[in-house]
């Protein structure tokens, strides 16, 4: 319980510190007008292909700008860390819908919600002759703040709750609470390289327990 309360107290302070740390003079031009990790949409009628690799796995995604404020697409993931749990290195596959909604945007900052539901399967190694297949559903939601730094760099800070539930495995629901930040560096207006980091506990209500969870992914994004 103390761990959960300390996380809740730290998150607002973390986001405020990130916002205050960026000088106002650096915010004169807001990136390249789009992003995949921060809060700006990819643009009405535009498409972005993105790929990231790291922990917990490899993700490929396609995002379409349905409007100036809403993006919709999909993701395919091959993981070698089960839903970001650092002590559960099981291989698995996940297929997700990808929805982003920009809530507000000014010259200095933007805010968005994300929702990425989809099924997953993990192949859990329980010994030489005792493997198990676990099926479940991911229902992650997130809140992200986008902070432009000049024309080539976009920072982000956010809170993710990648809620997931296992079917028939005795695990039940899992509630991760992850916070962190990332960046996108625009090599050109159409292409960026990026990095995202989220850290925090995953809470297992059925067992009254928690485990450390991490997502650390580097990648590229191309808009066309």
Q: What is the residue extent of each domain of the chain?
A: 2-18+29-223
Token pair 């915010």 in the structure block, residue: 27
Q: Give the pLDDT of residue 30.
A: 63
Task: Give the per-residue pLDDT at 78.
Answer: 98
Specify the DSSP element, H or E, that contains 33.
none
pTM, two decimals, is: 0.82
Q: Looking at domain 2-18+29-223, does it have CATH number 2.40.160.20?
A: yes
Q: Give 102 or 126, the one with higher predicted confidence.
A: 102
Q: Which of 69-73, 137-141, 165-169 has the lowest mean pLDDT?
A: 165-169
Q: What is the pLDDT of residue 127?
A: 55
Asked if 58 and 77 count as a contact pair (C-beta separation under 8 A), the reply is: yes
Who wins on pLDDT, 72 or 168? 72
Secondary structure (DSSP) of 57-85 = EEEEEEEEESSSSEEEEEEEEEESSGGGB
pLDDT grade, residue 132 (50/70/90)? confident
Question: Among residues of the chain, what percentage have pLDDT more than 90?
Answer: 76
With a cut of 60, say whether residue 203 has pLDDT above it. Answer: yes
């Amino acid at each position: 319980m103390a761990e959960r309360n300390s996380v809740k107290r730290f998150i607002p302070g973390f986001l405020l510190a990130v916002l205050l740390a960026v000088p106002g003079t650096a915010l004169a031009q807001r990136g390249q007008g789009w992003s995949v990790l921060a809060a700006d949409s990819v643009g009405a009628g535009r498409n972005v292909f993105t790929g990231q690799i790291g922990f917990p796995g490899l993700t490929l995604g396609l995002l379409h700008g349905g409007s100036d404020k809403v993006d919709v697409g999909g993701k395919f993931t091959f993981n070698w860390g089960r839903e970001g749990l650092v002590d559960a290195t099981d291989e698995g596959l996940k297929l997700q819908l990808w929805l982003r909604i920009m809530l507000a945007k000014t010259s200095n900052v933007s805010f968005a919600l994300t929702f990425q539901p989809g099924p997953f399967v993990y192949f859990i190694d329980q010994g030489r002759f005792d493997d198990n297949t676990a099926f479940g559903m991911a229902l992650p939601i997130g809140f992200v703040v986008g902070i432009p730094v000049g024309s080539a760099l976009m920072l982000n800070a956010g809170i993710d709750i990648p809620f997931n539930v296992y079917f028939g495995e005795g695990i039940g629901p899992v509630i991760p609470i992850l916070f962190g930040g990332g960046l996108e560096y625009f090599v050109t207006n159409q292409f960026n390289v990026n990095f995202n980091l989220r850290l925090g506990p995953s809470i297992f209500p059925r067992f009254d327990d928690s485990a450390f969870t991490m997502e650390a992914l580097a990648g590229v994004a191309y808009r066309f």
